[in-house]
Amino acid sequence: MELTTLSRKRSLLSGYEKEPPLYTKKCLASLKTLLDRYETDRATEHVKLKTSWGRPCTPEACVNGRSQLLTDTESFFQQVSSWADTQYSVKKVLEHLKFRQASNDILLNESINKKFLEFRRDITEECGAEDKQHSWAVIEKQEEVVMYGPYYPNYNNGEHSEDILIKQTQELLESETVSEECKVYVFTMNSPCLARNTDPCMLNLVQKAKEWWSVYGVKTHIGFVKSWGFKGAKENLFRDINYSQVDCIDQAEDHENYVKAAEKADLNPLCENLFSNVKYLQRSARFSLINNVQGSDWKSYFKSMHSIFESKPEEEKKICTQEANTVIEAAQVLLSEKSGSFEEYLDKGGAFAFDYTFNSQVSDVIQDQMRLTFQQCWKEMVQDKYAKIIREKLTEDFNQCAVHVFIKDIVKFTKEYLEIGRMQFSEEAPQVVR
């Protein structure tokens, strides 16, 4: 890495599967610990005020400045506490999505993004490329760069990769000589989680960044590749959105009418925010079946075609079975990479069944039954995949929105010492961040 201000680089890369050293001192402070430490922070902030700009402040300025700092500190902890309440923060994100407010990815600024790309190149050269979740970090001083990681999550014991990284960073900051020009760069493949059984990684990192700034004068930058939101791909907020729900929403003009129709259809009505978001996605939902139906999954949707001739004589059954398999294989041509709407895919299946030329050895009665059964199987498959696409798109939008809203909330109090954003790679088109 060519960094003109650095005289040497010290790597503490642990290797992909190696465990980091164990530390006897617990370095990860919980929200409660930080709140308990609040009174101490007041005194610290007061000392900083008195010595700012190298001269004592006047009594009036000192009191006013101290009051402002304490107000900011209180507001910071209140904001973090609100995100620790997952139920409250989820509602907040859904409300944001409901009105389709701007929730673009918040990108790292250009110079910091460049630093992350350089560090990533070095770590990739040392350890190889990796797409699964992992984290690494860099402590950049004037005289050297200390790199450590990558670390991986151990889900069996509930440990995320960021947990290991925080402990390692804390240990290094305690043992190293650091100056106010020192910076910490934290990389995580997926943005730190906003919800889990213990303190979420995002809140832990934000709180540690505040502590590292207060104690060491160190600025922290957090970069990620993909927005993970609260629980990432495991987000279960949308698990009940099946095709029956999607169709019921599509037929309703507003949430009130939807609730009545859902109850009549014995469905659990979704909240108004979810209703609005599904309604919005339905207007533009286009998808490619080839990306959602593969191998045995594809064939499983057409099992009922074989039940048509189960009771037929063995020889006729054999011919019909072969023909059914031929039809199912031939229909895979419909799984083109070109995206289509729900209605377009339904029409494709209907047209295929109508136009297909069956083996003359199959009776007309069985042919008609096969056409009807194929159409029904195809319809059920398209409905299932359509609902899946809606769930996946909701999850993607929700995760991105959650990270966007969190950063917007927190940056008001942390501009001086913390930056969080998605990394942008050179092959990406420039994005506008609102």
pLDDT tens-digit map of 79-137: 899 999 999 999 999 999 887 666 688 999 999 999 999 999 999 998 888 899 999 99
Instruction: Cis check for the bond before 150: say yes or no (omega within 30 of 0).
Output: yes
- pLDDT the model gives residue 431: 46
- Determine the length of the chain: 434
Q: For 142, which DSSP code?
A: S
pTM: 0.80
Q: CA-to-CA distance for 410 and 406, rounded, in angstroms?
A: 6
The per-type count for the chain, helices as H runs and strands as E runs, is 14, 6
- pLDDT the model gives residue 51: 36
Q: CB of 207 within 8 A of CB of 80?
A: yes
- pLDDT the model gives residue 11: 66
- pLDDT the model gives residue 13: 61
Q: CA-to-CA distance for 189 and 162, rounded, in angstroms?
A: 10
Q: Give the amino acid at 239.
A: R
Residue owning tokens 């600024």? 109
The 3-state secondary structure of 178-214 reads CCCCCEEEEEEEECCCCCCCCCCHHHHHHHHHHHHHH
Residues 6+ apart with CB under 8 A from 155: none
Q: CA-to-CA distance for 379 and 373, rounded, in angstroms?
A: 10
Q: For 311, which DSSP code?
A: T
Q: CB of 83 within 8 A of CB of 387?
A: no
Q: CB of 208 within 8 A of CB of 29?
A: yes
Q: CA-to-CA distance for 204 and 424, rounded, in angstroms?
A: 24
Low-confidence ranges of the chain (pLDDT < 50): 1-8, 15-58, 61-63, 65-66, 429-434
- pLDDT the model gives residue 178: 80
13's enclosing H/E stretch is strand 8-13
- pLDDT the model gives residue 98: 81
- pLDDT the model gives residue 299: 85
The β-bridge relationship of strands 183-190 and 418-422 is unpaired
Q: CA-to-CA distance for 356 and 378, rounded, in angstroms?
A: 14
The β-bridge relationship of strands 135-140 and 144-151 is antiparallel
- The structure tokens listed for 43 are 């005194």
The β-bridge relationship of strands 135-140 and 183-190 is antiparallel
- pLDDT the model gives residue 333: 86
- pLDDT the model gives residue 289: 83
Instruction: Please tell me the chain's helix, strand, coil percentages from 3-state DSSP, rounded to the nearest 5.
Output: 60, 10, 30
Residue owning tokens 């900051």? 173
- The structure tokens listed for 250 are 């599509």
- pLDDT the model gives residue 183: 96
Q: CA-to-CA distance for 25 and 65, rounded, in angstroms?
A: 35
- pLDDT the model gives residue 287: 86
- pLDDT the model gives residue 70: 53
- pLDDT the model gives residue 12: 67
- pLDDT the model gives residue 106: 94
Q: For 291, which DSSP code?
A: G
Q: CB of 31 within 8 A of CB of 80?
A: yes
Residue owning tokens 């063995």? 314
